Chains A and B, each alone.
Chain A
């Protein structure tokens, strides 16, 4: 099984995770910029963080044979500082030029405040102007439904290429409007606070596999990168073939992320049509 982990905060994880991911078939990860657990104060803090994930992390991943890509953004929580946000946004074109940076992410909403919405719009705008991909974080728990609705409203007011926008962390109550609007969506698998592997497979079976990415995010909080592999096992256990699994867990990331030519991993086919599924 060959797997791409399309949303993974490597900076918050040890090398042992890379080692175990490599052993389980992960060939690439993509690391969005996220909240560090505290609100950064200076543009330079962001710049050094972007440098770490775009310059250093690829070397750490490479020791385990894993390709590493990254994104840049000001996290929604930090978007409450619009002066800082504007200063950081000015640095984005420098990072868009780096060989493994794929676009703007994860931007998005937390509490859907006016500052957050303005920052989201500014992030999407700069991404579209520079031909970059966009990864959007939707809020957690009780804020998710309203925040997702606001994300869709902000995007609907802009001139965007919907195929190049990924709305992440969708759940059963938010997936349909995002898919119906033509965006890519992501399921993020967390032990407790987001979607679970079983529920992710339920949604794959209900909505099909087009424009769907699955990830386990994995950050400094309670999270487990191997919920992605757990999901793959659940998917196969329900009778889906190896090729079906590769379509979701390898080829879909190739299709979305490959819209940026820097992501040059191609979809693969491992079995001809008609191969038997794993026994359930």
Chain B
């Protein structure tokens, strides 16, 4: 099994790639909102809820400490949408 240092070194580039994809999604959404004149989707379970869940998920990932597993927390969050 990997040491803590090995874990970071082995998976850093992959994580970097995935976070860039998320950043690109948020940029893409912002560009679309701008094209639409700032209108947002207010429907329940709609894209606004999905974005909110994504942002909560990012906050979970960014926190220094997490009670329980982050993957479990994210799966519970994503189950809401």
Q: A residues touching B (Cβ–Cβ < 8 Å)?
A: 141, 172, 191-193, 196, 198-199, 202, 205-206
Contacts and interface: CB of A to CB of B under 8 A. Distances in A.
B56 interface: no
Nearest to B31: A206
Contacts of B27: 202
Contacts of B21: 196, 198-199
A193 B21 CA distance: 12
A191 B27 CA distance: 20
A193 B13 contact: yes
Contacts of B58: none
A199 B20 CA distance: 9
Contacts of B48: none
A205 B31 CA distance: 10
Interface in B6-65: 13-14, 16-17, 20-21, 24-25, 27-28, 31
Which interface class (under 10, 10 to 19, 20 to 34, 35 or more) fits B? 10 to 19
A140 to B, nearest CB: 10
Contacts of B24: 172, 196, 198-199, 202
A172 B31 CA distance: 14
Contact of B17 (A196, A202, A205): A196
B11 to A, nearest CB: 10
21 contacts: A141-B13, A172-B24, A191-B17, A192-B13, A192-B14, A192-B16, A192-B17, A193-B13, A196-B20, A196-B21, A196-B24, A198-B21, A198-B24, A198-B25, A199-B21, A199-B24, A202-B24, A202-B27, A202-B28, A205-B31, A206-B31
By CB atoms of chain B within 10 A, which of A191, A198, A199 has the most?
A199
Contacts of B17: 191-193, 196
Contacts of B13: 141, 192-193
Contacts of A196: 17, 20-21, 24
A177 to B, nearest CB: 19
A264 to B, nearest CB: 37
Contacts of B16: 192
Nearest to A200: B24
A205 B29 CA distance: 13
A191 B31 CA distance: 25
A141 B14 CA distance: 12
Contacts of A192: 13-14, 16-17
A202 B29 CA distance: 11
A196 B19 CA distance: 12
A33 to B, nearest CB: 26
Contacts of B20: 196, 199
Nearest to B32: A205
B46 to A, nearest CB: 17
Contacts of A202: 24, 27-28, 31
A141 B13 CA distance: 9
A193 B17 CA distance: 7
B33 to A, nearest CB: 14
A205 B28 CA distance: 10
A-B CB proximity, top 4 nearest: A192-B17, A199-B24, A192-B13, A202-B24
A173 to B, nearest CB: 11
Nearest to B25: A198
A25 to B, nearest CB: 26
